[in-house]
Chain A
Amino acid sequence: MPPRLPMPGALRWLRRGHLGTEAEQATFRTLHSASLTAPALRGGLTTDSAEHAIRHLRDLLGVPAVALTDTVAMLAWDGRFGHHERDAAALAAIVLESGNTVVRDRADFACSDAGCGLRQVVVSPLVVEDRVVGTLQAFTASASAGLVRAVAEVGRWVSGNLELAELDASRTRLMEAEVRALRAQISPHFIYNSLTAIASFVRTDPEQARELLLEFADFTRYSFSRHGEYTTLAEELRSIERYLVLEKARFGDRLQVTLRVAQEVLPVAVPFLCLQPLVENAVRHGLEHKQGVGTVTIIAADHGGECLISVEDDGVGEDPEKVRRALAGDESVDSVGLGNVDARLRTAFGDDYGLVVETGPGAGTKVIVRVPKFAPGVRP
């Protein structure tokens, strides 16, 4: 809320010049045009984004015509004398070599039209991570030194936005890579321990050993499968149950598991492998560094338009500060993929749907996941 002005202030506000001097207003206009360009450019340098941005770029420069190119072809043109569109690619090639802003005239873009008002062009490179990815070209009757400077600055500003776009893209790629990593992240310990446990049954109870081997095979197949981004809660729980069967074979009665699942929520779509890391954490925290029996409780409850899932252990607990760091993505904290699961839930369902962790030293740990039954674009 803006602060309320007293009446005389409000009157003054209405008078001409209230928005500052001429120079200030020019600055505001420039900033406004720039802000209109930014959202389009954050999508990267494509025909689509170039077409959205280019009108505002021409406003910014105040020249008859502007072109945006990538390294080989023209992406968008705005302004008069459209017959010069064909020259844009050739002009871009000049800058690709030099990497500097250059001024060219009719020698480089021949024109037979007597009425054509474009006699000079300022071409500025767009640079992302020290590499020229395209050019900004401003066509005009005669290029003043001021215009050359302006085109160079706007080019640099566009480059900055494109770098941000690159950053966005790499963040998405990182997230995808993390999912792939998580998939391959069945811990070597788990494989070793499972196989040892199965081996111990081979002589005494061959039938049990066979069952366990099949569970193991199914578990790895699900985890390594080239799956889409989402799966159903039923699938995810099935994999978790296999995992728990294998862990129980190893720990025997030391590991107690309670599953309480409302049937209504089994068809809910969840991110692939979003519960597995939580259960793995619970088994580890529930049993390691602890004498006697450890209990893991998994509950999935129906709650109107949402499904509430909680994974709880009665182990040694954790320092809340450490969990906070793990959720923030601190790699040094030993918690399998907690931050990753949190980030993926937020990406899929929005920031309201992050993980909630209740824990304290000696108090066990409870992780709560809320999942909406429907979210646009999320389906198994």
Chain B
Amino acid sequence: MTAAGYSVLGVTAVFVVTLAVGAYGWRFSRTTSDFFVASRTVRPGLNASAIGGEYLSAASFLGVAGLVLAFGTEMLWYPVGWTAGYLVLLVLVAAPLRRSGAYTLPDFAESRLESRGVRRLSALLVVAIGWLYLMPQFQGAGLALASTTGTGPWLGGVLVATVVLVNVLFGGMRSITFVQAFQYWLKLTALLFPLLFMAAIWLGDGAVSPASVEVGDVVGSGDSWVSPLAGAEHEVYTTYSIIIATFLGTMGLPHVVVRFYTNPDGAAARRTTLFVLALLGLFYLLPPVYGGLGRLYAPDLVADGRAESVVLELPARMVGGTAGDLLSALTTAGAFAAFLSTSSGLTVAVAGVISQDVMGHRFGGVRAFQAGAVVAVLVPLGLAVLTEGVGVAQAVGLAFAFAASTLCPLLVLGIWWRRLTDVGAIAGMLIGGGCAGGSVLATLLGVGPEGWAGALLAQPAAWTVPLAFLTMVGASLATPRRVPRHAARTMVRLHTPESVQLDRGAPPR
């Protein structure tokens, strides 16, 4: 059997297992004599695995290794930021968001600011962020399939989109927690297992440092590969911008927020987040090692502009023979688990928002959700085919910057500042979203200027996030009469632990 054959087999296995766990995982039927089903709410550990499974996307699985290979150690800010985003989430958002009872971000906006306008705007933003994030998943799938089996660059995306759509339309994602938790461990295994073999070979070869070799890449010499801030222009600004976008963007991702609803209370939400931090920290140790080994064993990938396929090709190159092909098939399968889980989570979240806020009144409940799912998948698939050539990690980074400039201020100020008004929230989201969105568009279309202006557009978060916060605060202070009527009561509910007995007041109607 050829290497491509093994890969196809691995990918098929992932698809089948995902469908099977989705269909049968929830069927643990019990009669009442056994135990109380109702007391088995999702435990923080399981929920955290599910969040990890959903969150670790193509950008994490393929992109990080590729970036480290091509641009050096300063790219480690991406995995650091993607993990630390959960630290911010833990400290500022997790428990209050759960206590608000909101399922999606528009729900939170509506219940906190008591305004339909804010709800509609945040729904639009959620859909935009979801699409921006789905697009690179489909692109990544195309890239992965093309690199291992030599098919067209769009086939992988279409395949993943089809499986996700079938799964969602026929109700296969009903036990989504189990499916996603399974995907996390699959992804971890798919990276860790080949790495053990490769590390052994590397040690056998004398444990050469990746920094000691000269590779004709962007970074140039080995020294500049390991030392951050020693290369491209406006390095400091770009780094800080990445940090801000990744730290603050996580809380605005629709599929992450939705999962917090599964926690029974605020304390469980915090515990879940803590577990997520540990699981992500563990996972993100692995991709940079692929990047480093790639410099030694597959340096030509950089010159070819295929750095992102290093995770897929490295095992076959280092181990060789059938064993190498099998290990490469494993990482390919892991990559498809990443595409599948992230796209499923995003599709469910985006479809929920589309069906509720856009087409809820034209179709019935279930129909609206299915129609929403179709729209949620087809638009980014079209975008993915149209905008080839944007790096997976870069596109995901832009989604983060957009989320950090719009929904992060809404969440943070909504939870921690009682004088926020609906006008302020709308103004802040429009300004932040407009600036970040414009920059994203300019980058995706490749029309950005050179020099400082180019750097500002390529990584907009460092200026758009403060701008959005300031606008939101300023516009709220200018409209003090529009502070929601029940703001004080809502704040009490958001910040008081559920175990405390107090009059939370009749909910506003």
Q: What is A's interface to B at a CB cutoff of 8 Å?
A: 233-235, 237-238, 241, 244-245, 248, 256-264, 266-267, 269, 301-306, 308, 352, 370, 372-374, 376-379
Contacts and interface: CB of A to CB of B under 8 A. Distances in A.
Given A260-B26, A374-B101, A238 B174 contact: no
26 contacts: A234-B38, A237-B37, A245-B32, A258-B31, A259-B37, A262-B26, A262-B175, A263-B177, A264-B42, A264-B176, A266-B264, A267-B261, A267-B264, A269-B101, A301-B174, A304-B351, A306-B365, A352-B365, A373-B261, A374-B103, A374-B104, A376-B509, A377-B507, A377-B508, A379-B101, A379-B507
A305 B369 contact: yes
A215 to B, nearest CB: 10
Nearest to B41: A266
A308 B365 CA distance: 10
Given A302-B174, A305-B103, A263 B351 contact: no
B441 to A, nearest CB: 29
Nearest to A263: B42
A261 B28 CA distance: 8
Nearest to A256: B31
A267 B42 CA distance: 10
A179 to B, nearest CB: 15
User: What's the dominant secondary structure at chain A's contact region?
Assistant: mixed
Interface of B: 26-33, 36-42, 101-104, 107, 110-111, 171, 174-177, 261-264, 348, 351-353, 355-356, 364-366, 369, 372, 507-509
B352 A304 contact: yes
A256 B30 CA distance: 11
Contacts of B110: 376
Query: A248, A263, A374 — which one has the most chain B CB atoms within 10 A of its CB?
Result: A263
B348 A260 contact: no
Contact of A374 (B38, B102, B175): B102
Nearest to B263: A267
B110 to A, nearest CB: 6
Nearest to B35: A241
Nearest to B27: A260
A267 B38 contact: no
Contacts of B372: 304
Contact of A241 (B29, B38, B171, B174): B38
Given A374-B102, A379-B101, A263 B40 contact: yes
B6 to A, nearest CB: 35
Given A245-B33, A260-B26, 17 more contacts: A238-B36, A238-B39, A241-B36, A248-B33, A257-B31, A262-B26, A266-B42, A267-B41, A301-B174, A303-B365, A304-B355, A305-B352, A306-B369, A373-B107, A376-B508, A376-B509, A378-B507
B111 A304 contact: no
